[in-house]
Structure 1
């Protein structure tokens, strides 16, 4: 029969003295095995104790490191804010929008950087709404709404312009949603061809101008500007034909008159012609 002896740091299994046939060597080996089995439990308990102590200290350390990280990011945020303002001044709204968002990521809404944070949020509102309006003009209503939702949900919930545009996009009939990106591209191509045709006309290249107007009508069969341009070319050619006819008629009449013209007599001329006339 075995008995278990438990102390503070070890567990010992001993043999009952009443159990016959057990030698002291046997009891020693079993005591060692018992200690070996108890060691992992002791190590685990010590590890749990140390982890609990470390966990109690971690929140303070994490908070301190977070404060240091935010303070270190303030210069980068201010630099991004300056770049955003410069891009806004240059009307590069795409770059401005990205720089203002970067500035907000580095500038905490705190006492130290609260003013810069608010300026960046205002920049996101202004540049983002300009980009959204450009998307609407291009017929990309889904892209415009995505930008506006990002502004309101992540950066500036009080951006009134973004709120108004979202409401207008969701109101049926406010924007003509049949005007898609393909239609906008076609309109731009028509404008380009009309300008090209007018340039050909001004330089007297009427045939090339007519071809450009034909290309416009292939894209937009009811384009009145192209028809007026072709009419102007036809009138110009007609006027040229009238002038050419008058010039040709006048030239031939002049040749007929020239044939009936008497030669000019040359007095005092010496030679066979003068002798014949004298006879």
Structure 2
């Protein structure tokens, strides 16, 4: 008697069960491949960034900016991923860093930063113990002939500042701004007391100013001498046609005391300088100068003002008249004017000053 199986065998179901067993393993492998690809892409990007930093460092090195170049070299090395794939590239980057560090140490040594130079060379030797150039630079640091032990970084900074100020002072001097240039030279001497270039610059400025002041002296002297000479000029009467008096309303016929008064007001004396002169002497001078400076009178014989000095007469008990004897008073013409100095004043003012000094009065009238 045959036995009938309780479960019917199905080939399709077996295949499906086998596929279900393999699916988890395939999914894990695909995920792992994705992570590997991401890591490879990340490392490739880091290598590109490191290469770019290296190129920037080489450019800065060529420009002599060693401190910035060393910073870029260090950045490139730090960007490189770890692993034997980039070992050659890391070695090349380190070579650039060593070269830049040695050049930087030389710069430090020239400007007096000896501690920074020694530390930089020590870092190089730590990376490359057999580097001959680094060891030689360390020896130079300890050599007092090649390296000035008294040099400091502050001194080099002051030297650079003085150099720029000298150029600035020279620029001011070329532009004719001598005061600004002199101030720059003073600032230089405050930093560098014995700077010869600053002293020479101030010397040249003093020479230029001296030439100017000498020219100013000559000009001022000439102007003042001209004024003195001008005071001795004899005025010339204008050439006026007498027929104009009938047609020109500005020409007015003035006679009598008003005519004399007008002359006294219009005759201007450039210089009046009386020192210990008598009234008669002063009046003689005024009479002469009035004739020379009278530009109002058109008739030559009537030019000037005729002054007459009279001492008041005193009648005594017998009825006789004697001049200048009242109270023992001396004659007016013999009185002395101790000092009278005036400039550019009308003749009327001079006469009034003389009257005030001698306690006398004036009267104006025409002489027929």
What interval of TM-score do these two structures reach, taking the shorter chain for normalisation? 0.5 to 0.7
> Quick one: distance in 1 between partners of 2:156 and 2:301?
90
- The answer to whether residue 100 in structure 2 is matched with residue 133 in structure 1 is no
Would you say the 8 A contact 2:237–2:298 is kept in 1?
no
> Quick one: distance in 1 between partners of 2:88 and 2:97?
14
Q: 1:113 aligns to what SS in structure 2?
A: helix
1:80 paired residue number = 50
Would you say the 8 A contact 1:80–1:102 is kept in 2?
yes
Would you say the 8 A contact 2:56–2:72 is kept in 1?
no
Which protein shows a greater Rg?
2
> Quick one: distance in 1 between partners of 2:129 and 2:44?
23
**Offset at residue 123 of structure 1 (A):** 1.9
1:238 paired residue number = 210
Change (3 A) 1:94 1:107: farther
**Offset at residue 190 of structure 1 (A):** 2.5
Q: Deviations over 1:189-224 (max 9, x none)?
A: 333443343344344443443343233223322211
Would you say the 8 A contact 1:145–1:166 is kept in 2?
yes
Of 141-150 and 212-221, the range deviating more from structure 2: 212-221
Pick the aligned partner of 1:144 from 117, 137, 140.
117
Which structure is higher in strand share? 2
2:161 paired residue number = 189
**Offset at residue 225 of structure 1 (A):** 0.9
**Offset at residue 180 of structure 1 (A):** 0.9
**Offset at residue 232 of structure 1 (A):** 1.3
Change (3 A) 1:274 1:172: closer
Q: Deviations over 1:121-180 (max 9, x none)?
A: 2321232223222211220111011112212312x4565543432231133432002101
Change (3 A) 1:245 1:202: same
What's the Cα RMSD here? 3.4
> Quick one: distance in 2 between partners of 1:171 and 1:77?
42
Change (3 A) 1:77 1:165: farther
2:71 paired residue number = 98
> Quick one: distance in 2 between partners of 1:176 and 1:204?
40
TM-score where L is the length of structure 1? 0.61
> Quick one: distance in 2 between partners of 1:109 and 1:246?
89
1:219 paired residue number = 191
Q: 2:112 aligns to what SS in structure 1?
A: coil
Would you say the 8 A contact 1:206–1:233 is kept in 2?
yes
Would you say the 8 A contact 1:101–1:124 is kept in 2?
yes
Structure 1: tracts of 5 or more residues without a match: 1-67
TM-score where L is the length of structure 2? 0.48
1:11 paired residue number = none
**Offset at residue 238 of structure 1 (A):** 1.1
Which structure is higher in helix share? 1
Change (3 A) 1:138 1:207: same
Change (3 A) 1:239 1:265: same
> Quick one: distance in 2 between partners of 1:179 and 1:241?
45
Structure 2: tracts of 5 or more residues without a match: 1-37, 246-250, 252-295, 303-368
Change (3 A) 1:158 1:266: farther
Aligned residues: 210
Comparing both chains, which one has the higher relative contact order based on Cα–Cα distances under 8 Å and sequence gaps of 6 or more?
A: 2
